[in-house]
């Protein structure tokens, strides 16, 4: 990698001005708020914070958040990889339109997602009514939460895997086939190892989005404590009922996981780059 | 090298069925998960006639909320385009201590739950917060008012421009900039004449993502605004209000307007993305 020659002169006043501006902006929008919420959370002592986090309602919402997020990630990894595969390797009618619409969940406001799902699967709708008669609840129940999470994070895995699949040479696969490997073995031994960093990146992004997701779930889940209340909705409820202490506990937990996932994504990125260099 | 020998061809035939099945599964998944909900909401909104749809969109509350969304989006675009470019320039061209950490902080808003973000700002900018108390003394309200909603939107959209401009700046900008610099152009001239034209499509893409997110932001704005009707209620908050008041027609029709806006933005994204690739 060549060093950037312009970097040598980064001591001039305009450079300093730009750097101060960025530090100021990040400082006031990101660093200070995090310090403020952390200091507020730890002010009452660790014991107090721990009690807030482990109160039965908070703990339930946290568990529900992680379980639904995990289920969503498993489905999203399978279907996202399949979607990327189909879009890169095969030709079929309406392929271009589908490729263009993959990003739709990123463009649609999350609350609109929630409203759409209620309109389609709500107890009074055609499909929701049908399921209701079979005794299956979708909206205001756990399946609705997973459905909402699947919707909002659908593009992550597809868009992470697609470019890697594009770059991947078919030579290796065909060599493996020639050497007698079946399609399953080819996928497991040749394709999967190459795609793995990208799949994990998509999975981590989906998971991160899922544990923080609020808008669509607030609409779809019905927010019933000990049944459909996830962590973000629990935090919102505590803020609304003027109980900031209760909100602080889970906020700190979610922030901790945000940091953790960012670090993980950073590692994955370097791993990805190393793959590309081969 | 001829890639298709006999055994490859045999397996390809066997794969044909698998291929059709996979395409069918992916298209089915996409149809049910992503497209069917759109149909659901259109059907529900128009169910009670076009007249009702229009009248529910033209209530003073509804109009006020859409106008507020436009205002917040406009100010967000200007502010975050400026700071996004500054951040990208600093991160690409300058070297300083803690740069890796700084870069990680820029990405943080993607990983933080919107509810937690709103809560952080209440703590920092609220009447008793470190910064908020200072503004309160000068008679400026931040929380439950426009400035707070703007801050929340700035936070959630902060990474978009920087993230899109950084790779373009790394690839194209530098060599041409060096050339301009060697030829005697001043730093400002270099920026306006060389840097900006080379990053413009990346920048445009980042701005489009910023617009989509500002229009659609819900959780962070809900927490910090208090959602006061005809005062601090944006379009997404208005949808939420209508939904919780069981005024489904109002919620569905406002949601349709936002969905239409997302389609428009998505089309814009595709156009810009193609230009960016060239």
Q: Residue A83: pLDDT above 90? A: yes
Closest-CA residue of B relative to A186 is B11
> Which architecture characterizes domain B50-277 according to CATH?
Orthogonal Bundle (1.10)
In chain B, the residue whose alpha carbon lies closest to the alpha carbon of A258 is: B111
Q: What mean pLDDT is reported for chain B?
A: 90
- Find which of B7, B11, B37 to mutate to test the A interface (most A CBs within 10 Å of its CB): B37
Q: Report A:48-67 residues touching B (Cβ under 8 A).
A: none
pLDDT given at position B15: 66
Beta-carbon separation of B239 and A111 below 8 A: yes
Per-residue model confidence as pLDDT tens digits over B165-177:
999 888 875 677 7
CB contact under 8 A, B187 and A150: no
A 102-141 near B (Cβ less than 8 A) = 103-113, 115-121, 125
Q: DSSP string spanning B72-88? A: HHHHHHHHHHHHHHHHH
Q: Is A185 on the interface with B (CB under 8 A)?
A: no
pLDDT for A189 = 85
* Contact with chain B for residue A175, Cβ under 8 A: no
How does pLDDT run across A191-203, given as a tens digit for each residue?
899 899 999 999 9
Nearest to A235 among B34, B119, B121 (CB): B119
Q: What percent of chain B has pLDDT over 90?
A: 62
Best of A74, A99, A119 to mutate (most B CBs within 10 Å, chain B)? A119
Using a CB-CB distance cutoff of 8 angstroms, which residues of chain B are in contact with residue A154? Answer: 33-34
Give the start-to-end residue ranges of the domains of chain B.
1-46, 50-277
Subunit contact A98:B124, Cβ cutoff 8 A: no
Reduced 3-state DSSP string for chain A: CCCCHHHHHCCCHHHHHHHHHHHHHHHHHHHHHHHHHHHHHHHCCHHHHHHHHCCHHHHHHHHHHHHHHHHHHHHHHHHHHHHHHHHHHCCCCCHHHHHHHCCHHHHCCHHHHHHHHHHHHCCCCHHHHHHHHCCCCCCCCHHHHHHHHHHHHHHHHHHHHHHHHHHCCHHHHHHHHHCCCCHHHHHHHHHHHHHHHHHHHHHHHHHHHHHHCCHHHHHHCCCCCCCCCCHHHHHHHHHHCCCHHHHHHHHHHHHHHHHHHHHHHHHHHHHHHHHHHC
Note whether A33 contacts B: Cβ–Cβ < 8 A: yes
pLDDT of A112 strictly over 70: yes
pLDDT at B270: 87
Tokens of B74: 């406009």
**Chain B residues 39-78 within an 8 A CB cutoff of chain A:** 39-41, 43-45
Residue B19 has its nearest CB partner, among A5, A90, A214, at A90
Q: What local confidence, expressed as pLDDT, does residue A37 receive?
A: 96
Question: Are A120 and B110 inside 8 Å of each other by CB?
Answer: no
Confidence tier at B17 by pLDDT (50, 70, 90): confident
pLDDT tens digit sequence for B60-91: 999 999 999 999 999 999 999 999 999 999 99
Could you read off the pLDDT of A168-218 as tens digits, one per residue?
877 778 888 888 888 788 888 888 998 999 999 999 999 999 999 999 999
Q: Is the pLDDT of residue A277 over 80?
A: no
Residue A6 pLDDT: 47
Interface contacts A/B by beta carbons within 8 Å: 272
Q: Which of B5, B22, B34, B265 to mutate to test the interface with A (most CBs of A within 10 A)?
A: B34
Query: B95, A10: Cβ pair inside 8 Å?
Result: yes
Residue A187 touches chain B, beta carbons under 8 Å: no
Where residue B1 falls among pLDDT bands split at 50, 70, 90?
A: very low
**H helix or E strand, kind and range, residue B103:** helix B99-111
Highest mean pLDDT pick, A210-214, B19-23, B131-135: A210-214
Q: Cα angle at A64 between A66 and B107, to 5 degrees?
A: 40
Q: What is the mean pLDDT of residues B47-57?
A: 85
Please tell me the predicted confidence (pLDDT) of residue B11. 61
CB contacts, 8 Å: B95 with chain A: 7, 10
Across the range A123-127, mean pLDDT stands at: 86
d(CA A17, nearest CA chain B) in Å:
10
Local structure of residue A191 (DSSP, 8 states): I
| CB proximity B218 to A under 8 Å | yes
Residues of B in contact with A251 (CB under 8 A): 115-116, 119-120
B46 vs A75: which has the higher pLDDT: A75
- For residue B227, pLDDT beyond 60: yes
pLDDT exceeds 90 at position A28:
yes
CB contacts of A239 in chain B (<8 Å) are 115, 119, 122, 223
Report yes or no: A36 and B124 within 8 Å, Cβ to Cβ: yes
Q: CA torsion sign, B39 to B41 to B44 to B50?
A: negative
Nearest CA in chain A to B113: A212
Residue A256: is its pLDDT beyond 90?
A: yes
More confident position, A277 or B130:
B130
CA B96 to chain A, closest CA, distance in angstroms equals 9
Question: Which of B107, B122, B174 is nearest residue A4 as measured by Cβ atoms?
Answer: B174
Tell me which residue in A10, A83, A106 faces B94 most closely, judged by beta carbons.
A10
Task: Determine the residue of chain A that is closest to B10 in CA distance.
Answer: A177
Q: Give residue B13's pLDDT.
A: 63
- pLDDT over 80 at B7, yes or no: no
Confidence at residue A172, expressed as pLDDT on a 0 to 100 scale: 78
Q: What is the pLDDT of residue B159?
A: 96
């Amino acid at each position: 990698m060549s060093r950037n020659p312009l970097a040598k002169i980064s001591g001039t006043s305009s450079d300093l001005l730009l750097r101060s501006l960025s530090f100021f902006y990040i400082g006031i929008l990101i660093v200070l708020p995090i310090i403020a919420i952390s200091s507020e959370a730890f002010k009452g002592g660790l014991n107090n914070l721990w009690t807030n986090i482990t109160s039965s309602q908070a703990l339930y919402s946290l568990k529900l958040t992680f379980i639904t997020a995990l289920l969503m990630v498993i489905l999203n990894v399978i279907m996202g990889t399949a979607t990327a595969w189909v879009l890169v390797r095969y030709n079929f009618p309406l392929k271009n339109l589908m490729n263009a619409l993959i990003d739709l969940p990123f463009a649609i406001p999350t609350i609109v997602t929630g409203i759409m799902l209620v309109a389609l699967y709500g107890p009074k709708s055609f499909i929701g009514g049908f399921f209701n008669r079979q005794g299956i609840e979708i909206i205001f129940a756990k399946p609705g939460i997973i459905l909402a999470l699947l919707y909002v994070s659908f593009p992550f895995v597809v868009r992470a895997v697609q470019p890697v699949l594009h770059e991947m040479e078919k030579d290796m696969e065909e060599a493996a086939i020639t050497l007698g490997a079946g399609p399953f073995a080819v996928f497991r031994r040749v394709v999967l190892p190459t795609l793995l960093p990208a799949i994990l990146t998509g999975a981590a992004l989906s998971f991160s989005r899922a544990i923080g997701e609020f808008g669509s779930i607030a609409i779809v889940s019905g927010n019933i404590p000990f049944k459909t209340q996830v962590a973000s909705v629990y935090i919102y409820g505590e803020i609304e009922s003027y109980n900031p202490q209760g909100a602080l506990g889970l906020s700190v937990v979610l922030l901790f996981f945000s940091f953790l996932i960012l670090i993980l994504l950073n590692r994955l990125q370097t791993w990805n780059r190393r793959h590309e260099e081969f | 090298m001829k890639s298709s020998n006999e055994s490859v061809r045999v397996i390809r035939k066997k794969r044909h069925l698998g291929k059709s099945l996979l395409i069918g599964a992916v298209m089915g998944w996409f149809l049910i998960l992503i497209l069917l909900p759109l149909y659901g909401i259109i059907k529900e909104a128009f169910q009670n006639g076009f007249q009702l749809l229009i009248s529910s969109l033209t209530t003073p509350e509804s109009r006020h909320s859409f106008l507020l969304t436009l205002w917040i989006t406009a100010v967000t675009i200007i502010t975050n385009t400026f700071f996004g470019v500054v951040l990208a320039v600093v991160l690409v061209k300058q070297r300083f201590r803690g740069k890796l950490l700084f870069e990680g902080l820029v990405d943080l808003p993607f990983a933080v739950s919107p509810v937690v973000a709103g809560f952080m700002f209440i703590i920092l900018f609220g009447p008793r917060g470190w910064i908020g108390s200072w503004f309160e003394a000068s008679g400026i309200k931040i929380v439950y008012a426009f400035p707070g909603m703007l801050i929340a939107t700035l936070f959630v959209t902060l990474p978009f421009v920087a993230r899109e401009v950084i790779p373009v700046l790394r690839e194209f900008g530098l060599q041409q900039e060096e050339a301009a610099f060697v030829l005697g152009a001043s730093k400002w001239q270099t920026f306006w004449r060389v840097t900006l034209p080379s990053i413009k499509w990346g920048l445009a893409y980042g701005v489009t993502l910023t617009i989509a997110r500002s229009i659609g932001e819900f959780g962070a704005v809900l927490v910090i605004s208090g959602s006061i009707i005809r005062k601090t209620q944006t379009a997404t908050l208005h949808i939420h209000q209508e939904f919780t008041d069981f005024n489904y027609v109002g919620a569905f029709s406002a949601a349709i307007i936002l969905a239409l806006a997302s389609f428009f933005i998505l089309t814009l994204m595709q156009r810009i993305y193609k230009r960016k690739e060239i």
